[in-house]
Every structure is written in structure tokens, then in C-alpha cells.
Structure 1
Amino acid sequence: MSTPEQSRPAELAGGDDIWASMRRTTQARIGLGRAGNSLPSRRVLEFQAAHAAARDAVHEPLDADAIAESLAELGLGRPVIVTSRASDRGEYLRRPDLGRTPEDLSALTESATDIGIVIADGLSPRAVADHGHGLVAALVDALDGRYTMAPPVIATQARVALGDHIGEALGVTTLIVIIGERPGLSVADSLGIYLTHLPRPGRTDADRNCISNIHPPDGLHYDVAARITAALVDGARRLGRSGVALKDSSRRAAQENIGDGDDLTIETS
């Protein structure tokens, strides 16, 4: 049987919370304490609030028109809005296969440009609403006019593979899909980037490069994610493919004071 002192939360039992400094370095739940055989009420309520936020992030629909207006300010052309074959959010969650195929891409015009950018709601439309504009703006800066770019495409009820159909329809050489990642109990608004060289239906995860956990200030910052993406674009175009053959070493290069855009920022194998 626990004593009253053992049953009290860690931050109360000893006066000082020895976990406080560690919590400032992570969003993980650590040092939760005890109240009898359970958690303190405060920690239970925090868990329930995080679970509710994750559920809301999944089910809240993306305001595609608002995102389109925001992206139009970046000078890439008027964004085009498309959707998958999933008719609503419920079907999207039940039928992942429908989220991978388009309903209608007739609004897209073949551009034969170097880069195409797709902004997809994925499993966290909230992440796109919170971070989509900032990340696309950082990508434009990082690519620095080196490549031609098609007008952005906003995809709703979308899975990553929907981008392969979009990229083929646009005729782009390299496709960048920015998508809301599956919410967790620590983060509900994280974005991921999936880069595919020569996109076409049938590409697999082995053909893509992924950058995840983009959600400043606690996750990867827009500028860092954009620099990595730009280096991967350069490497994919040199190598002629993306995915497992293309390795990112941009962080190591930065630590070694190698300039952005240098040939050493990408390893291929």
C-alpha cells in the first residue's frame, strides 16, 4: 500500500518538480506523478484535452478557399483546388484507397515545369491551416528561382499518393507534397513533405523522400525544412530519381560550414 507521500504528484511530494527542466526540452509526457494507483487529475485532464485536440485536427475540414487566397500572395499563380474520390471526411478515414485517387483533374493544365507543389489536407487539415503558407513561402525562398514552378495545387481528402496523379497531369519533373501528418497526443498540427522525382501513378514510398515533424516553434522550422527540401530537389535532379537512392546530408554539411547549394549537401547511393 502506498503512503500518502507516495500517492502525491511528483511536483507536490517533494516541493520541487525534478522533471520540470526536462519537460521544457520535450513534448513527451514524462514524470506524470501518482495519485494512489492512478495519475493525478491534472495529468488525466491534460491527456483528455490532447486526445480531443487530435480528434478535432483529423475531422476539421480544410478551408481550401482561404488557403488558396493566402498562397496566391506568393506569386506562383492562382492555386487550383482538386479533391480525391473520398466524398467526405468519414469516407476518407474509412477508405484510404479513395484518398489516393483523384475525382477530377480537368482543372489542371500541363505546365511541363520543373517543380510542382501540392498542399494536401491529409490527416491534419489544421496543420495546413496553421503552417501551409509559411512553409510554401520558405520553399520559394530556398529554391531561389533556380527552377520553374507550376501554380500550387490544393488537394482535399488527400493521401500522399494522390500527388502522383497530380504531378503526372501537370507534367512536372519533381513533385513536392506538403501534407498534414497524423496527429498524436503531443502534436496535432505537424506537416510533412514528400518529394517524388518523375511522379506518376504507381510510385511507392521507396520512390519518395520524406521530411516530417514541421511545426515551429516546437518542431522543425519552415526554413530548415525548406533548405533540406531544396537540397533534395537538387540531388534528385542530378541523380535522376528520388527515394531510397537519395540521402539527405544537409544538416551535416551545415555543421561543417559547407554552403547551401554546394554539391556536398546530398549523398547518393
Structure 2
Amino acid sequence: MNTKELVEQIYKKKSFLCIGLDVDLNKVPKHLLKLDDPIFEFNKAIIDATQHLAVAYKPNIAFYEAYGIKGWKSLEKTITYLNTNYPEVFTIADAKRGDIGNTSTMYAKAFFEDLQFDSITVAPYMGKDSVEPFLSFEDKHTILLALTSNQGAFDFQTKKIEGKELYKNVIEISKSYHNAQNLMYVVGATKAEYLSEIRGIIPDSFLLVPGVGAQGGNLQEVCKYGINDQVGLLINSSRGIIYASDAEDYAQAAANKALELQKQMEEILLFKK
């Protein structure tokens, strides 16, 4: 999926919502545990109930790897279900990969060629040759960790190097990478006050913004500083949507929570016009 198609979906659905599929079997409704693949069945119900409200889905790969081969099979079934039934939806492998070049190439093949995700999150710490193998897939997007929503972000990301914060250096340098037009960036919703300066560096790029909801990020603040001419935002909510209920009505409860966010986004888009 290219950026133009993503923007079309945003305006068609009046939403820039991304739903994180971070499935913890300790939190899913107990009746699902009797099924052969409770992770996939949980995801399928959530997707079917919310696909008209969301433009993207983001499985956090750790929540599948934790269950070994069974978890990986659930992930494969989930992405296949999305690509087959809702191909207009943007898919994000939240894998946070990044290694020496030949290893990054294999990570890219796994998520782009085998699983057919539209994008993947990538850690930039090892630099250019760890990121460009992902960018060599010209029809795919690489989402670089820039300024994350966790408290530990202040350990390194905001430290100044020669007078400039590290995350700003990361963003600036990444603009010179091959196929950099397919870069997106992770900026946490809990760091909304930084967004205006980030927009000064990358005015046209899409930002994946986690942290709205359970982590305390504010949608209006994020949009105030981060929205651009093409909207340029994918606002992710995971726990606040998918675990809205632990009863048999969990899918409908998730849809209700997603609808609350979508309605807020619709108002923001109307005001933007």
C-alpha cells in the first residue's frame, strides 16, 4: 500500500485509527481458551467488529513469539485474514528489528515477503546499513523509532549530542537514506509537546503515534502539533480497545471504544478542512 492509498482510506473512513493486536491469553475472554487457536479467533472477531473504524492494524510480534510456533501460526493466520478480507487496511509488524545488513535483509524478507505486511517498525541504533535493507523493498514502509512513549525514552533519546537531541539527529540523518520517502516514524503520544519541532524536520512524513488511551496520551494534543496536509498520523490504541471487555461481548465492546476514537478523529478532520 502506498501513502496515497492510505490517505484515501483515512478520508473515506474519517479515521486515522490504528488498532494494536497485542494478544495476551491471560486477558482474553475465558471462553476463547477452549478453541484450537484462541489468539486468531480473538483477533478475527476484533478485526471484523472494527475494520470499518480503523485504517491500520499493528500486531506486536512479541505477543506472538511468546507462544512459540503456535503463536507464530496465529500471527500468520491473522495477517493472511487481513490481507484476504480487508486488503485496504494498512498492516504494521511491530517487530522493532534492526541488525547488521544481512540480518536486517532476512528480517525484511520474513515480514515483507513471507508474511506480506505493509510495514515494520525498526530500531535505528545500528545506523544506515541496518535500516536500508528494509527500505530496499520499495512498495513497503519502514517505521523508524524516533521518540518513544515509555519513560526510558529520556535515558538516551532526548540527550543532546553537539547541542541537538539524539532523536532529532536520528530523524535528520535518516532523511538521507536510500528510498527515505518510504520512512515513517514512531513518536509517542505522551511526547506531544515535541511534535511541532519534529514536524519542522519531517513535515510530510507519516507518524505512528502509540500511547493514546491506557498510556495517557491525549489525541487532541497530538493532532494540534502533529497533523499535516495529508493528516500524516496513525494513532494507535491497543489495550484500551481490545480489552474493553473480558466477556463474550468483547468484540462489540472493542468496536464501541474504537467508535469513540473514530468520532473524535472525524471531528478533527472536519475542523481541519
Give the TM interval when normalised to the shorter protein.
Answer: under 0.3
Structure that is richer in helix per residue = 2
Which structure: larger Rg? 1
Higher relative contact order (CA 8 A, sep 6+): 2
Normalised TM-score (structure 2)? 0.28
Normalised TM-score (structure 1)? 0.28
